[in-house]
Structure formats: structure tokens, C-alpha cells
Structure 1
Amino acid sequence: MAFAVEPAVSDLKSDYDREGWCKIPHRFDDDTIGLLRERIDSICSRRRPEVVYEKDGETVRAVHGCHAFDDVCAALVRHPQLVSLAEALLGGPVYVYQFKVNLKQAHEGAAWPWHQDFAFWSEEDGMPRPDAVNIAVSLDDVHEDNGPLVVIPGSHTLGLLDLPAMADKDDRNGWKQHVSADLTYTVTGSRAESLAREHGKVLITGRAGSLHAFHPSIVHSSSNNLSADRRALLLITYNAVANAPAHPMRPKFLVERDATATTPSSDGRLRLVPDASPSDS
């Protein structure tokens, strides 16, 4: 199932450019998602630098850079349809800038406050422009009670909002604060509420395997997981090769140093099928 059919790609790019996000009309099948879950669950069971925990120090909040040491995740980032979609949205060759899985464990997963991803990539890594795209793969069924992503359409056109003063930046606690519930760069609740009144907001829900694309500057958040259902969201950030930061300082599992264009490669374990599920609310 290729995304190379021009009208489909054109429609997706139009939605992405206008709204800052788009739903991809394909999903990974159940066997693919089962395999990805197995690999992520195995990684979460190990004490590695790439594994980040909630404030209790035991509940896994996220894992990073899995494509560097797991063959299934490595195959996923080279999936021909994902690479071609990223190239179509960004207009040229891309490489994997970041790979992560954000997990909200049942009844324990904490919220992510309103923020923009590009704030971290610009301010911490020196990424020149928001010429990157997040491709999100739902590893679990996502519903309104297990902490879905909430986006404010059109907010990606507003630039970076509410950046802290330089003195406040000097008080930060390093990269771990960039992946915790206490984020270094956030959009204030009052501004987010104002933007939501003007632009509306969208809950990104759907069955496991669903695919979405998000702009680095879109204002987004997610709530606590109040349900008995885990919510795991796998995110591949493709960056334009021409947009690679010159001297990133954060760990390699957060920021890839090699900006060589990703070469697509098919893997029979990773299968896409048409997604006929309803649109997000």
C-alpha cells in the first residue's frame, strides 16, 4: 500500500500544511502491532539510559532511540511508505532525528502539559527550522479516558510561544526535564485555552495501528490516564536532511547525529492496511 498516489499525498499535505496535523488513511495490522508491543515491552523491562520513569521511579513513562538497538524498530523507521510520506510532507530527503515511545500506564500515566516540540529542538539542539514531522503510531487503542493526544489545529503557524527567559533556562535540570511531566518549555494554560477557543481542539483517538502526522510547532498536550487501559504512542521524527542541527549536545538517543538520508527498505513483518475507521473528534 503505497502513499505514492499523487492525489492522496496532495490531500494529506494540504491538511498537514493547513491544520498542522493529518490522519493517515492506513494502519499497521494487528500482527505488526503485536510485534512492536512485544519489543517495546521487552525494552521497558530493562534498566537502560533510554528508559524514562514517572516520578515514582518505577513506572515507565517513555523509551527513546529504540531504532538504534532493536531490529524491528530499525525496520519501522525505514518503512518505504513512512519515509515517502515524510519526504512528501517536507519536500525532500529526510533522516530519523528522534524515535520514542510515550507510555501512559493504566491509572498511572501522567499528563503532558501544553507544549510545542520545536521549542526543545530549536532551543536545546539548534535545529534551524521546524522542517520536521512526527509520524505517530498508536500501539494501543486510544480513547478519551486513557490520555489521548490533544492538538490545537492551526497553532503551528504562530511560531514558538511562551519561551522562558534565558535566566530561567539556566536553572533547568538537563535533558531529563525535557521528557518528564515537568517540561522545560510549555505553553501557558491561559494561552492554550485562548487558542482552543479560537481554533478548536482535536482529540487524537483510534484503534491500535492508527497513524497520524504532526507538525513540530503544533500546540498539544495529553491528560492523565484515568482508565484501566494503557496508552502507548510510538513517535518517529523525520527531519529534513538540510535542516540538521550543527552541534546538538543532548544524548544521541534523543538527537541523532547522523543526518544521512534514510534509505527505504521493506520488511515483511511490518504490514500496512487501509484504515476505514472514523475521523478523530
Structure 2
Amino acid sequence: MTATTHSPSASVTDLYPSRGATEVAIPRQDPVVWSAPGAVGPIPGPDLQSFERDGFLAIDQLIGPDEVDVYHRELERLVTDPVIRADERSIVEPKSQEIRSVFEVHKISEVFANLVHDERIVGRARQILGSDVYVHQSRINVKPGFGASGFYWHSDFETWHAEDGLPNMRTVSVSIALTENYDTNGGLMIMPGSHRTFLGCSGATPKDNYKKSLQMQDAGTPSDEALTKMASDYGIKLFTGKAGSATWFDCNCMHGSGDNITPFPRSNVFIVFNSVENKAVEPFAAPVRRPEYIGATDFTPVR
């Protein structure tokens, strides 16, 4: 893909400035749940209220054991395929040289494409976002035991806004566990309620920042002082659960995960749904747009 220089659309107001000279904290300007009160959907009302309050919703079993086996076998097939490893959509762990993530997995794999279209998945995304949705990003994440590195604290929206051009916080992610998530093997951590504050990070975005950030976060990283305050204000929730469990979380949640130094691998499939009414414009704080496989510009609704 040939990179071209972009600047934000003059007709789109930047509600969430970031990557400037100083770090800034801005109150959220958008709803959390976009559907009308009482709208019918697969998420019960109390759970939807919990999502609005905390920014996340944990589900003990979103897919069953037989389905987990199918998706886990497909994950293993992909990460051991030399053709997939050579594909630019595969991100390799710097230390172990093993595959860390495979992006655009719903286009690479028919098995994961079927998961994206599953009404248990896309129906919840539509209910939260109040509209039809498309896939902004999909990937499988692999954290083998004995030293797989984590993902440092960040807000996904900060990057998707700055580097992909998503104007508003109308995006939701789901992480579906394909191995058991213990409290020791590098599970997802979220600061509950942090989705209500946008942290605009300091420092300009380097060209082709994604090549480095997908292995180790740099630009778009909050300061220690800001993280200390947010952790003090909101606390930290660690997600554990059996394979087949899932965590839905708002695009602006402050989240991260630790290294996995246990013998127990942690793998998951990660799908990002964006509202068709929140289509990407030009990046708000980056010299170039990230590749299509990281930030989609195909806004075809998931049916």
C-alpha cells in the first residue's frame, strides 16, 4: 500500500485534540450507549446500564466449548502458516520472533468471517452503537507462555482518532477468549469509568508510527502522572474467565495488559465495530493514514 499524506477534513470539528505539545484531559463529548432507551437487543437493560457506567461488559460464555475448539484450531493454523507469517498483516514478537497478532483476520479466514457476522456478536455492537456497524479492525492476539510481552496502557480511541480519523467515540470492541484467562497470564486490565475522560497525549506522531506501535506502544502513551491519577480515581479491573468468555469495552477505556511469564498461553480474537454514521475522515494528528488492514475505510455494514 502506498502511503499518502493526509490532514483532517476542514468540515469536521476535532472534539478530541491529541499529540500536541502538552497532555490534556477532556470530558467525553459523546454518548456511551447510542441506542434509544428501551431499544430491543441481546443485551439486557441492566447490563447496558452497567456498560454505560463502567465502559465494559463481561460475559461468562459468549461462545460454547465446541465453537472455541473451532476458532482455536483456526488460530493455530494461521499462526503456524509460513504464508501468513510472511504477510504484512502479521506482527511478530520482537524477542521470541513468534507471531503476536494477525490483523484483518475476518478477511483472511472464512472461519473468523463467520464469527463477525454472528448475531450474538454484531447484534450487541448494533445495540451499543445505535446503528448499523462495520468492522474497523479485527485481529487475533497470541500471548504464548514464558515471556510474551504485554500492551501498555492506552485508549484505543486516542489512536483511532489521531491516526485513523474516527471523529467520534462511537466504536466498541469485543475480546473473545480462546484460552483460559487467569489472573497471572497477562489478561486484559481496564480502569472502570475511564471512558468518560479523553486523555490527549503529548508528542507528534512519527511517520509510519504503526510499524513500531503494533509491537510496542510509544506515541499515544499517557504519562505516568496521568495514569497514576486515573488509576487512583477509577481503580483497575482485571478480567479472567474460561475460553469462550468475552469482554465488550468502549473505545475510550484506558486499558492494557501485562507480560505473560507463565507457562499458560493466552489467545483471543479481537473485533472492533464502528458505527456507519462515524466513518473515518482524514487523520486528526498523523502525517499519513494507517494501512487499510489496521484502520478500515471499507464502510460496508456487517449483515
CA deviation digits over 1:211-249, x for unaligned, max 9? 110111100111110210111121110000010103472
Report the Cα distance in structure 1 between the residues aligned to 2:230 and 2:215, rounded to whole angstroms.
Answer: 24
CA distance in 1, matches of 2:225, 2:98: 30
Q: What displacement does 1:130 show?
A: 1.4
Using the TM superposition, give the Cα deviation of residue 193 of structure 1 relative to its aligned residue in structure 2, in angstroms.
2.4
In 2, are the aligned partners of 1:9 and 1:85 still within 8 Å (CA)?
Answer: no
In structure 1, distance between residues paired with 2:49 and 2:277: 22
SS where residue 27 of structure 1 aligns?
Answer: coil
Aligned-pair CA distance for 1:250: 1.5
Q: Which runs of 5+ in 1 are unaligned?
A: 264-281
How far apart, in 2, do the equivalents of 1:39 and 1:17 lie? 33
TM-score (norm 2): 0.80
Residues of 2 paired with 1:142 and 1:8: CA distance? 23
Deviations 1:42-83 (A, max 9, x none): 111232211101113612211111110211110000001211
Asked if 1:261 corresponds to 2:301, the answer is: yes
One-letter identity of the residue aligned with 1:78: H
**Structure 1 length normalisation: TM-score?**
0.86
Cα RMSD between the aligned structures?
Answer: 1.8
Whether 1:22 aligns to 2:57 is: yes
Is contact 1:64–1:100 with CA below 8 Å preserved after alignment? yes
2 CA distance for matches of 1:57 and 1:206? 26
Q: Is the 8 A contact 1:9 1:88 kept in 2?
A: no
Aligned to 1:164: 202
- Give the conservation status (yes or no) of the 8 Å contact 1:114–1:188: no
Q: Is the 8 A contact 2:60 2:241 kept in 1?
A: no
Would you identify which runs of 4 or more consecutive aligned residues in structure 1 move more than 4 Å?
4-8
| Equivalences, count | 256
Unaligned runs of 5+ in 2: 1-38, 284-288
> Does the CA contact (< 8 Å) of 1:120 and 1:178 recur in 2?
no
The answer on 1:154 being equivalent to 2:193 is: yes
2:107 is aligned to 68
Match of 1:34, SS state, is: helix
Matches within 5 A, 1:96-111: 96-111=135-150
1:184 positional shift: 2.2
Percent identity of paired positions between Structure 1 and Structure 2: 27
The residue correspondences of 1:29-44 to structure 2 (distance < 5 A) are 29-44=64-79
Q: Deviations over 1:150-173 (max 9, x none)?
A: 1000000001x151233xx23x55
